[in-house]
Structure 1
Amino acid sequence: MSIDLVGYIHVRLREEIDRCGLSLAAASRAAGESSPQRLKEVVSGRQKCPADLVAKLVVIGVDAQYVLVGERAQIAKPPLTPDEEMLLEAYRALDVADRKRMLAGLISG
């Protein structure tokens, strides 16, 4: 692993916690930490990031792969059903104005 990847783990961890919309205190509680101090030390770069902490933060939506290696995890999406494929094909065949009208109708109910 590149030293650059390791050197920025704390930065990516902070990004992920922010992306999840949590404070350090809330993230610490979700990870089962008794105090937010360890997490504060890690995201400030004063302490190395322990693997167990990253693993515990996955429950709040932290992308562990991104934190550790800087690449987002690719989550497999289920295949489209035949109805969904038909809708998507029809939508793609519309011009921009019709797409906007269709989306407006869907959003407004």
Structure 2
Amino acid sequence: MSIVLVEYIHVRLREEIDRCGVSLAAASRGAGEASPQRLKEVVSGRQKCPADLVAKLAAIGVDVQYVLTGERVQAAPVLAPDEELLLESYRALDVAGRKRMIARLISG
């Protein structure tokens, strides 16, 4: 990770808390903090960002990867109901059944 990215962790953390639509006090409560003071100090840049605090903020929906690296987590695609059914059926098969299904798909 580059030094420049590390310098902006507090900015990205504040951005994520705002994206989640919660106040700093609510974010602190969601992270199990006794007081919002530590989080206020962190997002203002007056205190270094502790890893345990960022990890706890995942509980309110903060994208921890984005906060730490500046890269967003890619969301899993939303499947249509028929796609969900196919996937569930495939997962329910034993290994031999999966192999047969793949062989049928490959052979056309």
Are 2:5 and 1:5 aligned?
yes
SS of the residue corresponding to residue 58 of structure 2 reads helix
TM-score by length of 1: 0.71
Q: Over residues 1-46 of structure 1, what are the superposed CA-to-partner deviations in whole Å (9 max), with x where a residue is unaligned?
A: 2110000000000000000000000000000000000000000001
User: How many residues are aligned here?
Assistant: 84
Distance 1:7 1:83, change over 3 A: closer
How far, CA to CA, are the matches of 1:83 and 1:47 in structure 2? 47
Give the 3-state SS of the residue equivalent to 2:34 in structure 1: coil
User: Aligned partner of 1:45: which letter?
Assistant: G
User: Distance in 2 between the 1:25 and 1:83 partners?
Assistant: 41
Amino acid at match of 1:61: G
1:19 counterpart residue number: 19
TM-score (ref. length: structure 2): 0.72
> Unaligned 5+ residue runs, structure 1?
85-109
Give ranges in structure 2 of 5+ residues lacking alignment. Answer: 85-108
* Counterparts of residues 1-109 of structure 1 (less than 5 Å): 1-77=1-77, 79-80=79-80, 82=82
* One-letter amino acid of the structure 2 residue matched with residue 56 of structure 1: K
Counterpart CA distance in 1 for 2:44 and 2:60 is: 20
- Separation in structure 2 between the aligned mates of residue 4 and residue 16 of structure 1, nearest angstrom: 18
Q: Percent identity?
A: 79
What is the root-mean-square deviation of aligned Cα atoms in Å? 1.8
For 2:59 and 2:67, how far apart are their aligned partners in 1? Answer: 14
Deviations 1:46-92 (A, max 9, x none): 111111101100011000000000010012225545579xxxxxxxx
Q: Which runs of 4+ in 1 moved over 3 A?
A: 78-84
